[in-house]
Amino acid sequence: MSIRDDGIGISAQALPFIFEPFVQDVHAIGFNGAGLGIGLTVVRELVEAHGGTVIGSSDGDGKGSTFIVTLPLAV
């Protein structure tokens, strides 16, 4: 499954760390006044608990983000 948005994007410096707990990109802090930096960590944990993987990508600030979730087929 692929999910894409046209939001604030993710900087190249933050991209390798986005699934770590309490990580927020510098330009995202204060963006909407909410968030603890745990949402993508929870996503990763849930996906991995079901045997899947999740990856994120972005072309940078203001260019949106794409997340690809891969889950195994049920037998």
Structural domains in the chain, sorted by start: 2-70 (3.30.565.10)
Q: Which helix (H) or strand (E) is 2 found in, with range?
A: strand 2-5
pLDDT single digits (tens) 13-72: 999 999 999 888 876 666 665 677 899 999 999 999 999 999 999 998 889 999 999 999
pLDDT for position 33: 56
How many other C-beta atoms are found inside a 10 Å radius of the C-beta of residue 58?
23
Q: What is the pTM of this model?
A: 0.84
Judged against a pLDDT cut of 70, whether residue 2 lies above it is answered with yes
Nearest Cα to Cα of residue 68 among 60, 58, 57: 57
d(CA 42, CA 33): 20
Predicted local distance difference test score (pLDDT) of residue 50 = 96
The sign of the dihedral angle between the CA atoms of 49, 42, 66, 55 is: negative
Give me 30's structure tokens. Answer: 């204060």
Q: What does the pLDDT read at residue 29?
A: 63
